[in-house]
Chains A and B, each alone.
Chain A
Amino acid sequence: MGQFMIRRTLYAVVTLFILSLTIFTVVRLTGDPVTLMAEPGAQEADLARVRAEWGLDQPWPIQYAAFVANVVTGELGQSFNYEMPVSTLYFQRLPNSLELALTATLISFLIGIPAGILSAVRVNSVWDHVGKTIALLGLSIPGFWLGLVMILVFSVWLEWLPTSGQGDWRNLVMPAVALGWYFAASLLRLTRSSMLEVLNSEYIKLARLKGLPAFAVIAVHAFKNALIPVLTLAGINLVVMLNAAVIIEVIFAWPGIGRLLYEGIFQRDFPLVQGVVMEAGIMIVLINLIVDILYAYIDPRIRLTK
């Protein structure tokens, strides 16, 4: 177990190293980030001053070392516009994103898990077809368009829900549905295949042979084991939603991390963009590491194979 944890942690560190190198290179590959940031018609002397201020006149290896130092100290560099460490801004927005992502996770559970179980228990029935349709539409309807249509229907025509902003639960419903929609489809597919796999296993056959009622077999024996991969996916999805809800947060003026990234783009605040992207990568590498270790803890087969 110890060896497994060390190997996986090393992998995670290598992944983060490559990620930081990628982000660093992309920012500088496409030319001078200062010209991206500068107002049109800025004087060359001003540009040089900004470059010096940001350390962009230094050779690349020194710049990279500074970038890594910023990541390791947890500051992620200074935002150009807010004149604050990017990590401070990120963690200011995190609770808002968490509120949205948790609600979206709840909605994806409410849609995905019952529909997934029903289609697995009654393969090729009407329920299975309903489930397949939901799964297909989840992939085909862009979440942000669903959000726009909901604004049109529920805010403009029916006047039930506020169009945007943060407040009580009514502000939360539409962005959470728009965000949870896609993930509901992926949860549904996973619940279905995971349930099918468990339902075909020997111990379920035994439970049925013992004469347990169908409901007890499905709810107690099958669902509990089928739930493990589903919860894992939900955990990873939650972290992805925290960081990737850019368009949904823009449409609903939700002050989360996605919107922070969007502001960074439009204020040409490259340290902010670079820092938020790096932080998103760190969080996702961490959650994957945690999942790997938990799985290995539960299942010795995983930690013993290479």
Chain B
Amino acid sequence: MSTSIIQSTKSAARTLSYALNRFRVGRDLPLLPLAILVPFVLIAVFANVIAPYDPIEPIPGAKVFEPPFWAPGGSVRALLGTDYQSRDVLSRLIFGARVSLIVGVTGTIVAGGIGTALGMLAGYIGGWVDQAIMRVTDAWLALPAIVFAIFLATMVGPSMWNIIVILGLVYWTRYARVIRGEVLSLREREFVKLAEIAGASRTRVILRHILPNVMNSTMVLASLTIGVVIIAEASLSFLGVGVPPPQPAWGSMLADGRSMLMVGDWWLTIFPGLGILLVVLATQLFGDWLRIRLDPQQRNL
């Protein structure tokens, strides 16, 4: 029993190193997306070092709705202004990046993990397992993702970790469909047949022979899902069913800024939105690069 766990851990590690080799890390990297994503990750990871103020406490002595430093009435004390509780917008943006990064990455891992696993099971085992998994996939795809996410979030209650699980549950269906389709043709290939004849167990065939061959697709889908998950989290937080206050998230910052839009307090709306825009744009560009890198047939398109 324990040897089989060690076996599968080993094969997973081999899969990972194989995948990393395929990226040929270090060669013709996509500069524009990396120029956005690397600072974004660094800011998110080192938020507590970089942020000038505590994101959930008012700046002592500051007024509410101070504009950014270059606008009339602004000061360098709060570079990007203050919000309705005289909290520092810049510090909240920095900590908000952390929420977007955690939700974007872990939400994508949950979705990709569930979807890839179920897609492989459906495609390889077939029969009623396939039927059951694919009918659930169809049904869950029928609901618009955002409506499904809002529904789940309303029923489960707001917290960052709930949102991660919810977005994983909403977005796994896309992976399941694509991966199943690939496995249907993979399982007819010689190397899979030979492994079966050699007496490999189903688990071994799936982990050792199928998984490495669907990893490329999973990675490409994942790179494109991160942006979608980040926007979905921002939407949920905007509606008040996402990351609960006072924890700073870009979506809830937009919701806070909405009431002051009418009097022209633009910095509360512009900055968090630009954050989302830049990060999602970079993940999309990175995903395009990855797709072309991993699938030479796509290069001409």
B155 engages A27 (CB within 8 Å): yes
The minimal Cβ–Cβ distance linking B167 to chain A, given in whole angstroms, is 15
Q: Which residues of chain A are near B155, meaning CB under 8 Å? A: 26-27, 29-30, 36, 270, 273
Interface size class of B (residues with CB under 8 A): 35 or more
- The CA-CA distance from A2 to B159 in the complex, in Å, is 49
Mask for A237-269, Cβ within 8 A of B = 1, else 0? 000100110110011000000000110011000
Nearest Cβ on chain B to A159's Cβ, whole angstroms: 11
Closest residue of A by beta carbon distance from B283: A140
Is B13 an interface residue when CB atoms closer than 8 A count as contact? no
Interface size class on chain A is 35 or more
The answer on a CB contact under 8 Å between B277 and A145 is yes
Chain B residues numbered 250-274 whose CB sits less than 8 Å from any CB in chain A: 254, 257-258, 261-264, 266, 269-270, 273
Q: Which of B157-183 contact A (CB under 8 A)?
A: 157
In the complex, what distance in Å separates the CA atom of A98 from the CA atom of B257?
A: 29
Is the CB of B16 closer than 8 A to any CB of chain A?
A: no
* In the assembled complex, A19 has its CB within 8 A of some CB on chain B: yes
B146 to chain A, nearest CB (A): 5
CB distance from A108 to the nearest CB of B (A): 16
Does residue A15 face the partner (Cβ distance < 8 Å to B)?
A: yes
How many residue pairs link A and B with beta carbons under 8 A? The number is 123
Which of A137, A148, A156, A285 contacts B142, CB < 8 Å? Answer: A285
B136 touches A18 (CB 8 A): yes
A15 to B141, CA, bound (A): 10
State whether the Cβ of B143 lies closer than 8 Å to any Cβ in chain A.
yes
Question: Given contacts A247-B239, A284-B142, is CB(A152)–CB(B231) below 8 Å?
Answer: no
Interface presence of A232 (CB below 8 A): no
Whether A140 and B261, one on each chain, are in contact in the complex, defined by CB atoms closer than 8 angstroms, is no
Chain B residue at smallest Cβ distance from A265: B154
Q: Are B238 and A247 in contact (CB under 8 A)?
A: yes
Q: Are B227 and A149 in contact (CB under 8 A)?
A: no
- Output the least CB separation between B295 and chain A (Å): 16
Q: Which residues on the B side are within 8 Å of A243 (C-beta)?
A: 144, 147
Q: Please tell me if A277 contacts chain B, counting CB pairs below 8 Å.
A: yes
B285 pairs with A136, CB closer than 8 A? yes
- Tell me if A144 and B238 are in contact (CB < 8 A): yes
Asked if B139 contacts A284 (CB within 8 A), the reply is no
Q: Which residue of B lies closest to A139 (CB)?
A: B284
Q: Is B281 an interface residue, CB under 8 A from the partner?
A: yes
CB distance A152 to B156 under 8 Å? no
Smallest Cβ-Cβ distance to A153: which chain B residue? B266
Complex alpha-carbon distance, A7 and B281, angstroms: 42
Q: CB within 8 A of A148: which of B147, B261, B263?
A: B261
Residues of A within 8 A of B270 (CB): 149, 152
Residue of A nearest to B281 (CB): A140
Interface string of A126-154 (1 = CB under 8 A from B): 00000000001101111011001101100
B157-A30 in contact (CB<8A): yes
Q: Could you tell me the distance in whole angstroms from the C-beta of B135 to the nearest C-beta in chain A? A: 6
Q: Is B70 an interface residue (CB 8 A)?
A: no
List of A residues within 8 angstroms of B289 by Cβ: none
Question: Contacts A163-B262, A284-B143 hold; do A152 and B281 have CB atoms under 8 A apart?
Answer: no
Q: Which of A11, A18, A250, A261 has the most CB of B within 10 A?
A: A18
Minimum CB–CB distance from B256 to chain A (whole Å) comes to: 12
Contact, CB under 8 Å: A145 / B276: yes
> What are 5 pairs between A and B in contact, CB < 8 Å?
A139-B227, A139-B284, A142-B280, A152-B270, A246-B150
Known: A156-B261, A284-B144. 20 other contacts (CB 8 A): A23-B151, A26-B152, A26-B155, A136-B281, A139-B284, A140-B277, A142-B231, A144-B235, A148-B261, A240-B144, A243-B147, A246-B146, A246-B150, A261-B150, A265-B239, A273-B155, A277-B143, A277-B151, A281-B142, A284-B142
What 5 A-B pairs come out closest when comparing CB atoms?
Answer: A244-B144, A18-B139, A145-B273, A140-B281, A140-B280
